[in-house]
Structure 1
Amino acid sequence: MEEPTSTTSSLPPAVAATDKEGKSAEFHPFSISTPQIRAFHLAWLSLFSNFVSTFSIPPLIPLIRADLALSPSDVSAAATASFAGSILSRFAMGPLSHLLGPATASAALSFLTAPAVLFAAFVSSPASFLVVLSLVVRLLVGLSLGNFVANQYWMTSIFSPSVVGLANGVSAGWANTGGAAAQFLMPQIHSLLSMKLSSSAAWRLSFLVPGGERLSTLQMNGMAKEMDGMAKEKAASVASKRFVPGRRIGK
């Protein structure tokens, strides 16, 4: 039987080599020349933002603990809530990605959890820390890590089996650096704000940055979905131009 025809490097730069399903058979992570690779970049950046917001609270816990006179058990409850949220969402995101598509599922989860990190600014006592930060904020923010599942599902829908393993690894690796970025950025943001404000006000306002960044993921997901659609349309167009009427597969 004749092998499925793929586009070749002789095609215009805006069209990647694709397999019979219209998935990209090329993966060039340092390029933005094709819709597929642009969708890849927007997808991992969206997940990167999820990691930043999820890990934005721990770097400021020493300041929050001192300001609110928290006990060690109060702090550990918040960490447990975040972990529980990530577990629950990862079970749900697989079926949701299959049902709605990874872009829509990821955008929906981002929309539902984006305001959560902003609620941290309203914590004013150990009791509110336990209720608001532990049970609401960390739980909801932890849910956003379910977008990791949607991201991996998305890579599988964009790239062919020959390169999807590499695409999954790079996307996950780059996105996971959001946790390290939060460890670096949040203390710096607090330091800048504390030059003009009290430490108590500074750590609260610091959460505006990851909260605002989370809202940007909605736009990223929308743009990535559009790029993914463009890639599939171009692949279908190329395939139709190569079709020869009357030719049978295997002949």
Structure 2
Amino acid sequence: MQNNSTSLEKATRINLFDLSSVQMRTFHLSWLAFFLCFFGWFAHAPLMNSTIGPDMDLTQSQKITAFIASVGITIVARLFIGNLCDKIGPRKSYTYLLVFGAIVVAGSSLAYNWETYLISRMAIGVIGASFVITQYHTTKMFAPNVVGIANATTAGWGNLGGGVTQAVMPLIASGMLAFGFAESELSKWRPAMFVPAAIMLVVAYLYWKYTQDTPKGNFASTTGLKPEKKEGESGLFMSAVKDRRVWILFAIYGACFGLELFVNGRAATYYQTKFSLDETTAGMIAALFGLMNLFARSTGGWLGDKFSRTGGLAGRVKWLTIVLFIEGFALILFSRMDMLGFAITTMILFSLFVQMAEGATYSVVPFINKKSLGAVAGIVGAGGNVGAVIYAQFLLRSGATLENSFMYFGLAVIAISLMGFGIKFSKADEEAAQKEQKELEAFEAEIKRKEKLAA
């Protein structure tokens, strides 16, 4: 049975085992592409102290600078990629990005000094823009009653790549040495980079072949699908720039996803230095932080959808404000833990709420400016990278310890959560959302009635 609204032709249900519909094929391929991009983006992090740093003779300052460069370039990339989605569509945008990612991740293995290594890390940072395409594409494919959980699940499962790479890349690097693909212990990271690169090329082909820009077709082949600039209106990007709610969400996303990026880049090192753990053990523990993406971000988006049923668009914002406030408190707890067991427990608690806050953020994004969806998604997504750069710069320049930095960041998150009260929707927007919600509920009720009769 079709699960699409006849008016929107967007999926009103998420059936994970359905690969026949373009909506669910897009769902699965978008999170898989996102996963691989994040895997490649953070592939250097767990190997930095043990192999890459010594092999390249990097100082501590250079290691942090490389992280800042890799995360910082994504700010520009996310702004660009959101606008690109509005122009050429998410299918082409993702395919091109995956091919580019494969080239630069593999190419990083050729770095021979600090300058070439820095350039390679900057190039790799571009693939962090994959998040924007994922959110754009699922928003195009899923109806408002499930768009929150659809966006959150694809983003959450994609974010897993940043955690899984913490545990897997050390194993891949060791395997390269064991099978003779590396000359020494210090150089084993170089051939390891070809593994995620090769898989990216495979997924690029699958994305091009099995997805399309919208349920109706591709931007280039079907008229009326591509967002157009109307006479008398500002451009798509500028209309998003002028909306203050976009910048509040920009700051909020910096307070949640920005911290996830920062922790992904520093978690393994944190456990190695503070608790004197080896590379593999520290990587396994750090991977637990990303593992919560299996369900935490989805839960945040799902609860955003639930809050909207009784509280409308304002209900989505209320949930976002609550979960972000708790995230800040959880981070402060984590920063105060000196015993390994308590540190792991509070890290997982923080991970749950930081990822639920990300899901809650992108349950609000689709309703800010539907004409400029790509621009809004890009700007808000860039906020996460700006946050990560700020955190890394603070660590580099303040002289504060990592645990004290976590405490300061937790206090900042609590303060930023209060900005959520500034996100308001017009009466017309609320009424339109309520009307659409009722239409979707009626449509779902009709589907259930037909299914019951068929049974």
The interval holding the TM-score normalised by the smaller chain is 0.7 to 0.9
Asked if 1:70 is matched to 2:58, the reply is: yes
Residue 188 of structure 2 aligns with an amino acid whose one-letter code is A
Q: CA separation in 2, counterparts of 1:34 and 1:109? A: 24
Asked if 1:164 is matched to 2:147, the reply is: yes
Residue 133 of structure 1 aligns with an amino acid whose one-letter code is Y
Assess if the C-alpha contact under 8 Å between 2:54 and 2:186 holds in 1: no
Which secondary structure state, in structure 1, belongs to the residue aligned with residue 186 of structure 2?
Answer: helix
Asked if 1:139 is matched to 2:122, the reply is: yes
Q: CA separation in 2, counterparts of 1:40 and 1:138? A: 29
Instruction: Report matched runs for 1:113-128 at 5 Å.
Output: 113-124=101-112, 128=113
Asked if 1:47 is matched to 2:47, the reply is: no
**Alignment equivalent of 1:101, drawn from 89, 92, 113:** 89
Q: CA separation in 2, counterparts of 1:117 and 1:202? A: 15
Q: CA separation in 1, counterparts of 2:53 and 2:84? A: 37
Q: CA separation in 2, counterparts of 1:94 and 1:44? A: 17
Residue 42 of structure 2 aligns with an amino acid whose one-letter code is F
Assess if the C-alpha contact under 8 Å between 1:121 and 1:205 holds in 2: yes
Corresponding residue number in structure 2 for 1:17: 4
Q: CA separation in 2, counterparts of 1:113 and 1:46? A: 11
Q: TM-score, normalised by structure 2?
A: 0.44
Deviations 1:167-204 (A, max 9, x none): 00100000000011111111001111222342134221
1:143 offset after TM fit, Å?
1.0
**Alignment equivalent of 2:160, drawn from 177, 198, 219:** 177
Which secondary structure state, in structure 2, belongs to the residue aligned with residue 162 of structure 1?
Answer: coil
**Alignment equivalent of 2:79, drawn from 91, 95, 105:** 91
Deviations 1:13-59 (A, max 9, x none): xx333240211111123443433112210111111110010011111
Residue 216 of structure 2 aligns with an amino acid whose one-letter code is K
Q: CA separation in 2, counterparts of 1:76 and 1:158? A: 39
Corresponding residue number in structure 1 for 2:200: 214
Corresponding residue number in structure 2 for 1:155: 138
Structure 1 residue ranges, 4+ long, deviating more than 4 angstroms after superposition: none
Residue 209 of structure 2 aligns with an amino acid whose one-letter code is M
Higher-RCO chain (CA-CA 8 Å, sequence separation at least 6): 1
Assess if the C-alpha contact under 8 Å between 1:54 and 1:144 holds in 2: yes
**Alignment equivalent of 2:172, drawn from 170, 189, 206:** 189
Assess if the C-alpha contact under 8 Å between 1:43 and 1:220 holds in 2: no
1:224 offset after TM fit, Å?
3.8
Residue 149 of structure 1 aligns with an amino acid whose one-letter code is V
Residue 215 of structure 1 aligns with an amino acid whose one-letter code is L
Corresponding residue number in structure 1 for 2:248: none
Q: CA separation in 1, counterparts of 2:82 and 2:37? A: 17
Corresponding residue number in structure 1 for 2:412: none
Q: How many residues align?
A: 213
Assess if the C-alpha contact under 8 Å between 1:122 and 1:204 holds in 2: yes
Q: CA separation in 2, counterparts of 1:90 and 1:75? A: 23
Which secondary structure state, in structure 2, belongs to the residue aligned with residue 194 of structure 1?
Answer: helix
Q: CA separation in 2, counterparts of 1:35 and 1:225? A: 6
Q: What residue ranges of structure 2 are gaps of 5+ in the alignment?
A: 218-455
1:101 offset after TM fit, Å?
0.7
Asked if 1:232 is matched to 2:220, the reply is: no
Q: CA separation in 2, counterparts of 1:133 and 1:69? A: 11
Q: What residue ranges of structure 1 are gaps of 5+ in the alignment?
A: 1-10, 234-251
Q: Identity of paired residues, percent?
A: 30
1:220 offset after TM fit, Å?
2.9
Q: CA separation in 2, counterparts of 1:105 and 1:43? A: 12
Q: CA separation in 1, counterparts of 2:191 and 2:100? A: 21
Asked if 1:111 is matched to 2:111, the reply is: no
1:105 offset after TM fit, Å?
1.4
Q: CA separation in 2, counterparts of 1:26 and 1:33? A: 14
Residue 117 of structure 2 aligns with an amino acid whose one-letter code is L
Q: CA separation in 1, counterparts of 2:85 and 2:134? A: 9
Corresponding residue number in structure 2 for 1:239: none
Residue 59 of structure 2 aligns with an amino acid whose one-letter code is S
Q: CA separation in 2, counterparts of 1:119 and 1:35? A: 33
Corresponding residue number in structure 1 for 2:16: 29
